[in-house]
Amino acid sequence: MDSILAKFILTIASIFAVLTGSNYIKVAENDLVFNFKTGGNFPIYYFLNVENVGPQKVRFDVSSNANWVFVYREGQSQPTDFVSLELPQNAPINFVLEIHPERLEDKTHNAEISIKAIQLQDYSVLDTKKISITLNKNIQITPTPTLPPAEAEVSIQTPLTSPTITPALSPTPTLKLTPKPASPVSPKIEAPASERVKPIIRPLEQLIESLRLFVKFLFRF
């Protein structure tokens, strides 16, 4: 009776978890990118950390969809492309990804790791995660230039032009010419008409006087 009740409770909990969308799988990385050049070390190993963050113990099924990527539990000696194990609540684990670039041609290759959280009673899928893997073999990757952070950004500023300072011209002092007072001119006093005629009459008078004396001299004899 107790076992039936326990199974019923677990079933209801599982259905509730599915309906409410509870998360069970927590992974450190969702997208993995690897660059490989011929002559480098292979295979490439990567530790994928996974944790059960759900409300109950579940089974984790992990698989690879490529024949050049193997996945297995840490400590397992034989690599496989599928691993299944039960994981208690809040329990972390490392899965080993073993990548073999030597089997591939020179180009970019893609693979996917699938992780499923399986309910232990009815084997329903409670949660699923997809881990993408990109392998660039002998590919020259040109990094996309990114702007540095604002704190370290060296901005190119237009050099400031020193303002042209126009010296203020002092106003040219206006010379005020003070006219000198004119020298007083003494009014010209004209001589009377009789005085002006004298210079003309006097020679005539002298001439008449000379003629009179000459005539007088003639009649004397």
pLDDT per position as a tens digit, 43-96: 999 999 999 999 999 999 999 999 999 999 887 767 777 899 999 999 999 999
- Report the pLDDT value the prediction gives residue 168, as an integer from 0 to 100: 52
- Bridge partners, residue 134, by sequence: 33, 110
pLDDT at residue 141 above 80?
A: no
Contact status, residue 72 vs residue 85, Cβ threshold 8 Å: no
Q: Return the pLDDT at 115.
A: 96
Residue whose token pair is 């003309």: 200
CA distance 117 to 129: 9
- Greater pLDDT, 114 or 203: 114
pLDDT tens-digit map of 203-218: 777 788 888 887 777 7
Distance CA 72, CA 93 (A): 11
Residue 88 tokens, joined: 């208690």
Q: Which long-range contacts (CB under 8 A, 24 or more apart) does 69-74 make?
A: 69/97, 69/98, 69/99, 69/100, 69/111, 69/113, 69/133, 70/97, 70/98, 70/100, 71/95, 71/96, 71/97, 71/98, 71/113, 72/96, 72/98, 74/47
**Alpha-carbon span 221 to 211, nearest angstrom:** 16
- Name the nearest CA neighbour of 134 among 36, 216, 33, 66: 33
Report yes or no: 90 and 53 within 8 Å, Cβ to Cβ.
yes
Alpha-carbon torsion 214, 218, 219, 221, what sign? positive
Fold classification of 2-137 is Immunoglobulin-like (2.60.40)
Rounded average pLDDT over 118-127: 94
**Would you call the peptide bond into 199 cis, given omega within 30 degrees of 0 as the criterion?**
no
Domain extent listing, the chain: 2-137
